[in-house]
Structures are given as structure tokens and as C-alpha cells.
Structure 1
Amino acid sequence: MMKKSPIVIIELGRQTNFYQRKEISPMSDNSLSHTRWNCKYHIVFIPKYRRKIVYGKLRKDIGAILRRLCEMKDVEIIEAHAMIDHIHMLVKIPPKMSVSYFMGYLKGKSSLMIHDRHANLKYNHGNRTFWAKGYYVSTVGLNQKTIEKYIREQEAEDRLRDQMTKREYVDPFKDK
């Protein structure tokens, strides 16, 4: 595989007349016709009523559906993880598309596709809705690696936290 060299941009300094060299890594930035961009977002959304139903075959289907829908809109999934009651995604969305438009598209289309593949969900969710109305979004800057690690390791951390919060009640008045 051929290694890409950095792109060098020479621009005029703001207060003086000297030129500055800036190197832009071709792996981190994308481009449109006259624009270089690097827009990453950490997104979390939940099933309706935060039901714990994202497991087994449904989990695999949701993953495949979300990947396909992101490919159709040229959105790159950097990291993603499906928990039993919510979805975490770290995505790169082009600036020509707003986050709210993308989330409306992703949740709307995926809900229809999920109900097409799993017809029994209509008894629990009713009128072909699967996701709750809202979502969480945060921009990602220099802390991308931290967020990727958080998404990857969150399930293990949740299990550990659950084990730590379990209380074993011991009656001090009973003999052992």
C-alpha cells in the first residue's frame, strides 16, 4: 500500500507579510470541491422507552442497517457499539449535511427497515417507530482516541460497575 505524503498549504500570515507552512495529513481531513473538512461527532440514541431489546439477531441486523445507511449518505463510521439499551457511534459527517438531518434520516429509515425485517416488533412498538425522539451529540476534537476507547470498552465498564454496586445483605444477628 502506497503511503500518502502530507499536503503542504502555504498561506499568508495575518499580521506580517511572511508565509507559513502548514501540513495537513491526508488521512485526517476529507475534501469537497473547495473545502477541507474533519467533522467528527459522538452520537448516542436509544430505543423507544429505553427497552432492553438490542441483542442477538436484532443487534446484528441493526448494525448492518446502520452501516448501510451511513454508506448511502457518505458518512464514515469510525467506531460504533450497540449496547442492550442504546447505540454509541463515532461518525464523520460531511459539512454539507447537518447532524439533525442525518439523525432524522438514520433513525427514520432504520426504524422502517428494522420493522420490515422483524415484524413481531409492531406488537411492542406500534406504528413502526423503534427509536426514541431525542439523541445525544457531541463534537470530537483532539480527544478522538479517548472517545473511541470509551465506546469500545463501555460494555465491560458497565458490567464491572454493576458488579461493584451489587450489595450482599448479611444479617448480623444470624450465626454463620
Structure 2
Amino acid sequence: MYDEQSLSHTKWDCKYHVIWKPKYRKKSIFGALLKYLGEIFRELAKQKECTVIEGHLMPDHVHIVLSIPPKYSVAQRVGFITGKSAIQSGRNFQGRKKNFVGQNFWARGYCVFTVGKDEDAVRASIQHQEKEAKRIDPLN
């Protein structure tokens, strides 16, 4: 439940529930891109000393729980993950050899919540996203 980690003079357990979406909320996350993005998010988080604890990708948004050390800001880490994943998916799935110029895969904003004592509830909520979406919209 509490996974305390430590730095040289600090004990910490900082987890954040982050939600972001593709530009214009297009349903563009599916198929091979879906599996690819999951791996990329984990790899990019690891590069920046973060850990993906739980995550779920829907066709029109992403839910992820990140463990970020307190010496880093959430905005820096989420910006890095979204920016680099957009560049890599553009190169591998949209045939672009160079970086995006004036085109974005992810929307600018994101939503972030701290995860406290209700971590199990947040993780269960993320795991049941797809089932809930089908219940609300049966045409999905």
C-alpha cells in the first residue's frame, strides 16, 4: 500500500493520477499504437526517474498513475512523456522522419490528482475504465 522510497535525506511516496487526451479528442489510440504507447510511456518515465504504477489507454484519452520523486515537478515529467511519445509515435506510425512542425498528437492540457490513501480505489478505477465506457455508451 505505502511504497516509501528514499533519496539521500528524504523518505517519500508521491503518486499522481494523470489524464490527458489526443488533440481534438480524436479517437486515435487503437491497434498497434495502443500497445506501443504503453511500452513507450514506461520507458520514458524510467528515463526520468519515474515509475508507471498503473495505466490504461482508451481510444480518446489516457489514464496513468505515476510515481514521481519530490525533487521534480509533475509538469516537467508529464511534458517530457507526452512530447517524446508524440515524436516517437509520429515517426513509427505516421511515417514522419522529422519532428512535428505545427502539428501535435496530444492536446496541450492535462488533468492531475494526487493519490493518497485511496490508491487502491484509483487503481481499480483505472482498470475498469473500458468496462465503464461500454456500459455508458453501448455503441462503443
Regarding TM over 0.5, the answer is: yes
Structure 1 residue 108: Cα displacement: 1.0
The aligned amino acid for 2:48 is: K
Equivalent residue, structure 1, for 2:32? 57
Equivalent residue, structure 1, for 2:17? 42
1:79-94 alignment runs, 5 A limit: 79-94=54-69
Equivalent residue, structure 2, for 1:104? 79
TM-score by length of 1: 0.73
2:64 and 2:21 mapped to 1: Cα distance? 12
Structure 1 residue 95: Cα displacement: 0.7
Equivalent residue, structure 2, for 1:173? none
Instruction: State the Cα deviation string for residues 36-88 of structure 1 (Å, max 9, x = none).
Output: 00000000000011100101011111111111101111211111000010000
Task: Name which structure has the greater RCO, CA cutoff 8 Å, separation 6+.
Answer: 2
TM-score by length of 2: 0.90
Unpaired runs of 5+ residues, structure 2, are none
Is 1:31–2:25 an aligned residue pair? no
Q: Is the 8 A contact 2:41 2:52 kept in 1?
A: no
1:51 and 1:162 mapped to 2: Cα distance? 16
Change (3 A) 1:157 1:36: same
Q: Would you say how many aligned residue pairs link Structure 1 and Structure 2?
A: 137
- Bigger CA radius of gyration: 1
1:68-79 alignment runs, 5 A limit: 68-79=43-54
- Pick one of 114, 123, 126 that aligns with 1:148: 123
Query: Residue 128 of structure 2 aligns to a residue in which SS?
Result: helix
Q: Is the 8 A contact 1:42 1:138 kept in 2?
A: yes
Query: Residue 91 of structure 1 aligns to a residue in which SS?
Result: strand
Taking only aligned residues, the RMSD between alpha carbons, in angstroms, comes to: 2.0
Superposition misfits of 4+ residues, deviation over 2 angstroms: 119-122, 125-128
> Bigger shift: 102-111 or 142-151?
102-111
